[in-house]
Amino acid sequence: MDDYAYPADRPWLRANMIASIDGAAVGADGKTGPLGGEADHTLFHHLRGLADAVLVGAGTVRDEGYGPVKDGKPLIVVSRTLDLDFDAPFFGGRTILLTVEDAPRLAEARRHAEVIVAGRSSVDFADGLQELHALGLTRLLCEGGPVVLAQIAAAGLLDELCLTVSPHLVGGSSQRILQGPPVGVELALSGVRQDGDHLFLRYARQN
């Protein structure tokens, strides 16, 4: 998997997402796990191993039951409201909260995690990424959720998307891997793998 190495000459934000063949970002139970398989889990851990930090929205952290990232890597949790359980397992490792000036519980949050304030009432991801880069966290892996990823992509900050296409049909009203503002970004296909009935696609920015 040497082709998944991060560029050595610049910061890079990669997203890793999974979707069913009918476009659902989660399975019928509301979680991503049933969509994956052994190869997807292997890639998930490999991409985490390459990154300096994992970035994820607070809703996904709650829904998927996140714990600390292995090897002491930071877990960057995006939360505009800081409506978080500070006793949750993921606070057992190094946690960075990316939030806003108007968020309640800022003082309490700082007692449990590192806090980066980027924006007043909505998260300014461009400013937030600059703060993370200043901490030496330049190889970032975004694991969603769809709202956070849509905001990052709409801001023109997504460098690469790793997309696992799962051989499941989900139906219903499940959200897509991007859920939010119009994006209008075109990426170039940079890699294709197959393992059984799962496809592993990579798309990267063209410039």
pTM of the shown model: 0.95
CA atoms within 13 A of residue 38's CA, in its CB half-sphere: 2
Bridge partners of 54, per DSSP, are 75, 141
Q: How far is residue 45's CA from residue 51's CA, in Å, rounded to a whole number?
A: 10
Q: Determine contact, residues 143/60, Cβ cutoff 8 Å.
A: yes
For residue 75, what are its two tokens?
A: 């877990």
Peptide bond just before 145 cis, omega within 30 deg:
yes
Q: For residue 11, what are the CA distances in angstroms to 29, 103, 107, 140, 162? A: 35, 28, 30, 8, 17
What proportion of the chain, given as a percentage, has pLDDT over 90? 83
Q: Would you write out the chain's pLDDT as a tens digit for each of its 207 residues?
A: 778 999 999 999 999 999 999 999 988 777 788 888 899 999 999 999 999 999 999 999 998 899 999 889 999 999 999 999 999 999 999 999 999 999 999 999 999 999 999 999 999 999 999 999 999 999 999 998 999 999 999 999 999 999 999 999 999 888 899 998 889 889 999 999 999 999 999 999 987
